[in-house]
Amino acid sequence: MSSAQTKATAIASMLTTALGTPLDQDDPETVRIEETDAALRISAPVPPTLSEAVRLDVLAFLLGTGARFGHDVPHDGLSVIWAEIEKADPGGQAP
């Protein structure tokens, strides 16, 4: 398993536990790992009842992963936290 995949799995596991949302690649309202040519993107819906303590724990964890991350809060939709892990380039080096 690649280092990027290992990190993505760790982030997905933490979000599953912290947010109480299962991992399911086919359901946009669960924790998901999506793969592009350059990165692995982990996304999860944020329950409106999430406590501030858990929210801060999630942010502290994400800060420690070295991943690019953010929180999308649309005006009339589901709030989603996400992280992206860059994959290694064809020469085997991380970008």
Residues 26-32 have a mean pLDDT of 87
pLDDT on residue 70: 93
How many whole angstroms separate alpha carbon 24 and alpha carbon 87? 21
State mean pLDDT over 31-57: 93
Average pLDDT value over all residues in the chain: 87
pLDDT band at 77 (very low <50, low <70, confident <90, very high): confident
Does the structure show a pLDDT above 60 at 45?
yes
Q: What is the mean pLDDT of residues 23-34?
A: 88
Looking at the DSSP bridge assignments, the partners of residue 31 are 23
Residue 2: predicted pLDDT? 66
